[in-house]
Every structure is written in C-alpha cells, then in structure tokens.
Amino acid sequence: MKIYSAPLQGFTEAVWRNVHSEVFGGIDGYYTPFLRYEHGEIRSKDIRDVERKNNTAKNLVPQVIAATPDEMHPLLELVANEGYTRVDINMGCSFPLQMRKRHGAGLLHYPELVAALMAEVVKHPEFSFSLKMRLGCNSKEEWKELMPILNDAPLRHITMHPRLGVEQYKKPVDVDAFGEFYAACKHPVIYNGDLNTLADIHRIEQQFPELKGVMLGRGLLANPSLGIEYHDGSELDECEQCRLVQRMHDAISRELIPRLQGNTQFFSKMKPYWEYLLPNMPKRLRKPILKATTIEKYQAAVAVALKCDW
C-alpha cells in the first residue's frame, strides 16, 4: 500500500512538507492544503505554497477547492504554469464557511455541480485528477447518488474520509459505510481517517486488502515516523523518535523565525503542532512549551521535553 500525507491547512504547508520528507520520509505523496480562488484572485500565500522553488518534497499533489469550472480554471492555470500534472479536487472540506459556498463537502449535496466538475475533468486530459471526499454533506447516502458520475469520470483514485461534512471530526469514522463505498467504487480507493498507529494502518489494510493506500493526517502530525514505520514494518524506538522530532522542529524553526514577525506570529504557527505531536509525552513537559512567552524559553522547554527521559 502507498502512504500519503493528508492536506491540513495551517500545518502541512511547504516548510513542514520539505522538512518532514527530509528528516522522516516514508511518504509516497504529499497533498497541499486546498488552493482557492476568491474575490477574483488566488491568495499569494497559496501561490507560494505550490511554487516549485519553495518545494523539495517529491510527489507533491496540489489540491484545489471549487464549486464550478469557472472557479477551478484559474487554479488549474496556476498549477499548470508550475509544471504539475496531478491535481486533487477537494470534496471533503467541512469548514462551515467553505461548505456554505458549496465547496468541499458542501458539493456532495449537489450532483449536478459534481457532474459539471467531472465534465471539466474530461476536458483537461493534460492533468491526472483525483478526488478527496466524505460520505456526504448531511447524509451518508449522498455518495450513492454521485457514484455513477464519479465512476464514469477519468479519475486516478478517490480518497474517502468516511464521515459527513456536518460532523466535522466529532463522530467516529463509519467503517461499514466506507466498506460499501469501497465495493461500489470502480477507481482505486485510498482510506483516510483516524489512523494514528501502525496497528491502525494494519487493521484497515487487512479489512480492505484492495486499498491503493492510506492517507494520514493528524496521526502523521502526532507521529511523523508513521509512514516509515509502515514501510519498514516496525515502530521507531521512542528516543530515536524524539531525536528526529528535535531535528524536524529545529529545521522548521530555522525557516520560520526570519520569516515571521516576532514571537506572536512564530508561536501561533509552532504551538499548534504541539497540540498533536508525541501524544505519549507527559503533560508536565508539554505545558511549558505551550505557555512559553519568549523564543528562548520555548526552545529550552522543547529541548527538555525531547530529552526522552519521560
């Protein structure tokens, strides 16, 4: 099976991807957080995130979010200009603001909009398209109406995160509904959702042996060695893990400190990683990292936590 890194706005931007692929590796493809076309433009931050000169991770797939072909065009133009031939279409985003615009999971309620996007996919054979979707926006039956449209479209694979848009991340993933989708989908299928350990990946692989791969999101933020553990067939020793997290952390900080203005910006970027990273770390070590008010105190707290003497 292939192991893919999921797109996570605010977390898996170019700096994280570049450093992760260099320090940990074990990932067969990285997906960018979604690019959007809004108010007649693409945000410069999004453009920078896909520019080739800012990316060193191999097998990078730009992801786009759009409700209509008109919204998708400028995004396709951008990625074509950067030389990409792979594009992933977001039909799973559950941010209420996006869903209200019929973006992401908001699209799943409108088969006619999905059909129009798939007709556009047919018109662009220069790209190899994939989709990332949920079971539905409001009901877990919605994918069934979309299946004939999606099965007819020239897609490379579909990544399914078996929850509803309105559920965001609250309810447990619906593995039985995923099984129904897996049986009905004629394209290769990638599973996504709540895979946090090597055992979780093995369990889903045993249950669905025809999977093309799995996509790891928060589980990879928490345990950045999950991809390499799968490919090597064993878990990484905890001290080696801490050593590599320290390397990754230092490399990301070196990139960000000169770029971000002051401590506040730096902390608002770095501290959220610690909400996920190394879930077995005792709270008494995590707290000083999250509470640090200067970069020096923050770095000292990180070094203490990553000494691996928990």
Ligand X SMILES: Cc1cc2nc3c(=O)[nH]c(=O)nc-3n(C[C@H](O)[C@H](O)[C@H](O)COP(=O)(O)O)c2cc1C
Footprint on this chain of ligand X (rule: CB under 6 A): 6-10, 33-34, 63, 90, 92-93, 132, 161, 192-195, 216-219
Question: How are beta strands 63-65 and 86-91 bridged, if at all?
Answer: parallel
Length of the chain: 310
State how far Cα 273 lies from the chain centre.
Answer: 14
Question: CB of residue 258 vs ligand X: minimum separation in angstroms?
Answer: 25
- Identify which of residues 62 and 301 has a Cβ nearer to ligand X in the complex: 62
Closest distance to ligand X from the beta carbon of 80 (Å): 20
d(CA 271, CA 252): 12
* H-type alpha helices, the chain: 14-23, 44-50, 69-81, 96-100, 111-122, 142-152, 175-184, 198-207, 218-222, 226-232, 238-256, 262-276, 283-291, 295-305
| Closer CB to ligand X, 87 or 93, in the complex | 93
Task: Read off the DSSP letter of residue 283.
Answer: H
The residue with its CB nearest to ligand X is 217
Work out how close the CB of 133 gets to ligand X at its nearest, in angstroms, rounded to a whole number.
Answer: 9
Q: Give the HSE-up count for residue 291: Cα atoms under 13 Å, Cβ half-sphere.
A: 6
User: 170 or 283, CB closer to ligand X?
Assistant: 170
**Nearest to ligand X of 181, 301 (CB atom):** 181
Q: CA 197 from chain center: how many Å?
A: 17
Residue whose CB is less far from ligand X, 170 or 284: 170
Residue 134 Cβ vs ligand X, minimum distance, rounded to whole Å = 8
Q: How far is the CB of 127 from ligand X (least distance, A)?
A: 17
